[in-house]
Amino acid sequence: DTGVSQDPRHKITKRGQNVTFRCDPISEHNRLYWYRQTLGQGPEFLTYFQNEAQLEKSRLLSDRFSAERPKGSFSTLEIQRTEQGDSAMYLCASSPGTGSSGNTIYFGEGSWLTVV
């Protein structure tokens, strides 16, 4: 399967613990995005990478959140000192940089986080 893959798919953690999610984009996609989706809502933009550079961060991304894409390939999203309000699905997406298909963003299956 050459789609966007995310790991883990599900994570239950105690409040105050740290969690890390990994995203492997479609090969050769230089653009990578993280979104968050809570129940009954559409996804909300968190951050964007072009290659290894993080070019935009949403105000939703508090200081407890950090995202990296060290070599311009896979990305990680870490949440420190989790709170119950962090419970959501975290979606990763990627897109090519150019060409007509550059208009299309491909999403992964998401990582569900439950903070108890």
Partner 1 sequence: AQKITQTQPGMFVQEKEAVTLDCTYDTSDPSYGLFWYKQPSSGEMIFLIYQGSYDQQNATEGRYSLNFQKARKSANLVISASQLGDSAMYFCAMRRPSGGYNKLIFGAGTRLAVHP
95 contacts partner 1 (rule: CB under 8 A): yes
The neighbour count for residue 94, using CB atoms within 10 Å, is: 24
26 contacts partner 1 (rule: CB under 8 A): no
The neighbour count for residue 91, using CB atoms within 10 Å, is: 22
The neighbour count for residue 108, using CB atoms within 10 Å, is: 21
Q: Which of 34, 43, 65, 88 binds partner 1 (CB under 8 A)?
A: 43
Nearest distance from residue 3's CB to partner 1, in Å?
8
Instruction: Measure the CA–CA gap between 109 and 78, rounded to whole angstroms.
Output: 18
> What six digits make up the tokens of 2?
């050459």
107 contacts partner 1 (rule: CB under 8 A): yes
Residues that bind partner 1 (CB under 8 A): 31, 33, 35, 40-45, 48, 50, 55-56, 89, 91, 93, 95, 102-110, 112
